[in-house]
């Protein structure tokens, strides 16, 4: 360690001692600027201490580090395939402070301790967005969905701004993510993750579940989901705590019915369902219709008790026109999912921030694209990567919304609104993602399969 660096570290540690006795001084710009200077030091001990202090400062610590390195971030965004040692130190420092891989593109600070996140949410009067994933968000090899989140959602400028302004962010690893390595025997190795899914939970500042957004959504669709849940979280916060579960359950019931009708509309639009069939569905539902639960409209929760008769009458009529989930699922094959996705393709368009992230991960595609520009008959590989990713994301968006998210709405309505996040997450992974915690092999080691390998190739 050089003398100047040692002197700076000594000064920094003296500030750390001061901060220990004056917690309110953590946000002091002078102190943060000192840690920012040391966070990208070539000396590991120095940078580790600085990163620790910046992370303890929360989002302001991350913001200070991002601001100090704004020029380097802009230069990297302009040429994302160029990564020298200086940039690697900057990116690693940002990731460590944020607790998210590629946080230079998102600027989002994540808590990994739920109690700290809850306290921060209560202090800021904000809801919590809690991500559950396989692996960890701060490493390259987390599960595929969380990696796609980092590209399509958190790197999206509009989405990341919305997250920073409106939520306290938290992530928790459900379990390690399985990885597979393919060695071609000639020096070439391919490493990938297999299986695994992720879900975002919207929680109030006390940690109570408002909603769960399962799997990958297009950035615009994800932003709209968050905006809806945020508005509802704020409105239900105005209701007396003892009345919230019933009103939350009623809201989820209406969201379930709304998605069934929207799904049906999509199938009608792509020619898969005759709209006249709705008349028969309505007649069938009218015969078995149960009295409706009082439902508070999202825009008028407090007024609901004064309009019981009107609300019940309207809900009976709407629910009578709601098709069956079993009928819709049986009517939607893979070809129809593709067609429905095309109707909502605009919800999955990537912005420039996400495109830069894709380029940074695919330098060979960028180089191939430059060569392809000289041959009109050859498509730019990078353009194809973006288009294919957007299309796959559009399919995921509608499938996750109509199958997974709608089911979560149904579970809430059936549980009278009393749902805790950990049991709900267990159920999501077991019944929706089909990777229950009871299966240590995540479905990758079928008991009735024969591989002709010693001990089926399993090593411990």
Q: 3-state class of 149 per DSSP? A: helix
pLDDT digits (tens, 9 = 90+) for 401-414: 999 999 999 999 99
Asked if residues 123 and 157 have their Cβ atoms less than 8 Å apart, the reply is: no
CB proximity list for 318: less than 8 A, separation 6 or greater: 257
Of 12-16, 199-203, 373-377, 431-435, highest mean pLDDT: 199-203
pLDDT over threshold 60, residue 444? yes
Strands 128-134 and 199-203: antiparallel
Place of tokens 């919304």: 401
Torsion from C-alpha of 154, 158, 162, 168, nearest 10 degrees: 20
pLDDT over threshold 90, residue 289? no
- What is the pLDDT at residue 4? 53
Better pLDDT: 148 or 378: 148
Better pLDDT: 379 or 46: 46
- Pick from 302, 296, 317, 214: nearest CA to 253: 296
Secondary-structure breakdown of the chain: helix, strand, coil percentages, each rounded to the nearest 5:
60, 10, 30
Q: What percent of the chain has pLDDT over 70?
A: 80
Tokens of 279: 């008349």
Average pLDDT, the chain: 84
pLDDT over threshold 80, residue 161? yes
Place of tokens 């792509």: 270
Tokens of 122: 């209560």
Residue 10 binned pLDDT confidence (cut-offs 50, 70, 90): low
User: Cβ of 428: how many Cβ atoms within 10 Å?
Assistant: 23
Asked if residues 385 and 365 have their Cβ atoms less than 8 Å apart, the reply is: yes
Q: 3-state class of 189 per DSSP? A: strand
**Where is average pLDDT lowest: 91-100, 202-211, 315-324?**
315-324
Asked if residues 135 and 383 have their Cβ atoms less than 8 Å apart, the reply is: no
pLDDT digits (tens, 9 = 90+) for 183-241: 999 999 989 888 789 999 999 999 999 999 999 999 999 999 999 999 999 998 899 99
Asked if residues 170 and 112 have their Cβ atoms less than 8 Å apart, the reply is: yes
pLDDT over threshold 80, residue 157? yes
Region 115-138: mean pLDDT is: 97
Residue 5 binned pLDDT confidence (cut-offs 50, 70, 90): low
Region 243-268: mean pLDDT is: 94
Residues 163, 146: Cα–Cα separation, whole Å = 16
Sign of torsion over alpha carbons 231, 234, 240, 243: positive
Q: 3-state class of 170 per DSSP? A: strand
Q: 3-state class of 134 per DSSP? A: strand
Q: Which DSSP helix (H) or strand (E) runs through 211?
A: strand 209-214
Spell out the domain ranges in the chain: 1-98, 241-419
């Amino acid at each position: 360690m050089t003398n100047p660096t040692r002197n700076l570290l000594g000064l920094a540690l003296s500030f750390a001692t001061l901060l220990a006795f004056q917690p309110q001084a953590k946000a002091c710009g002078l102190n943060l600027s000192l840690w920012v200077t040391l966070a990208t030091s070539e000396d590991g001990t120095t940078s580790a201490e600085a990163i620790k202090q910046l992370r303890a400062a929360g989002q302001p610590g991350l913001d200070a580090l991002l601001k100090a390195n704004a020029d380097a971030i802009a230069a990297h965004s302009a040429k994302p395939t160029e990564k020298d040692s200086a940039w690697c130190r900057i990116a690693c420092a940002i990731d460590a402070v944020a607790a998210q891989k590629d946080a230079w593109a998102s600027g989002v600070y994540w808590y990994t301790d739920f109690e700290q996140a809850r306290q921060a949410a209560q202090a800021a009067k904000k809801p919590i967005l809690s991500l559950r994933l396989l692996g960890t968000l701060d490493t390259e090899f987390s599960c595929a969905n969380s990696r796609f989140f980092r590209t399509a959602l958190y790197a999206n400028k509009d989405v990341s701004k919305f997250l920073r302004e409106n939520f306290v962010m938290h992530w928790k690893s459900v379990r390690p993510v399985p990885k597979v390595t393919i060695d071609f025997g000639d020096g070439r190795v391919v490493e990938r993750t297999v299986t695994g899914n992720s879900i975002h939970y919207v929680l109030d500042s006390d940690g109570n579940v408002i909603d769960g957004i399962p799997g990958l959504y297009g950035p615009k669709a994800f932003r709209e989901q968050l905006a809806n849940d945020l508005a509802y979280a704020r409105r239900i916060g105005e209701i007396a705590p003892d009345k919230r579960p019933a009103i939350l359950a009623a809201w989820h019931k209406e969201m379930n019915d709304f998605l069934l009708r929207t799904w049906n509309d999509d199938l009608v639009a792509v020619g898969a369902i005759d709209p006249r069939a709705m008349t028969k569905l309505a007649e069938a539902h009218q015969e078995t219709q149960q009295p409706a639960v009082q439902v508070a409209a999202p825009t008028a929760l407090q007024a609901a008790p004064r309009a019981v008769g009107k609300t019940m009458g309207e809900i009976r009529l709407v629910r009578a026109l709601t098709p069956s989930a079993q009928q819709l699922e049986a009517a939607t094959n893979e070809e129809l999912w593709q067609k429905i996705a095309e109707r909502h393709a605009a919800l999955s368009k990537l912005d420039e921030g996400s495109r830069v992230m894709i380029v940074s991960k695919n330098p060979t595609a960028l180089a191939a694209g430059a060569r392809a520009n000289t041959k009109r008959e050859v498509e730019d590989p990078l353009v194809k990567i973006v288009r294919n990713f957007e299309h796959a994301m559009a399919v995921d968006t509608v499938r996750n919304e109509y199958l997974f998210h709608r089911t979560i709405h149904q579970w809430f309505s059936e549980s009278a609104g009393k749902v805790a996040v950990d049991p709900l997450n267990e159920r999501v992974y077991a019944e929706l993602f089909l990777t229950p915690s009871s299966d240590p092999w995540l479905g990758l080691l079928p008991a009735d399969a024969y591989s002709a390998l010693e001990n089926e190739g399993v090593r411990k």
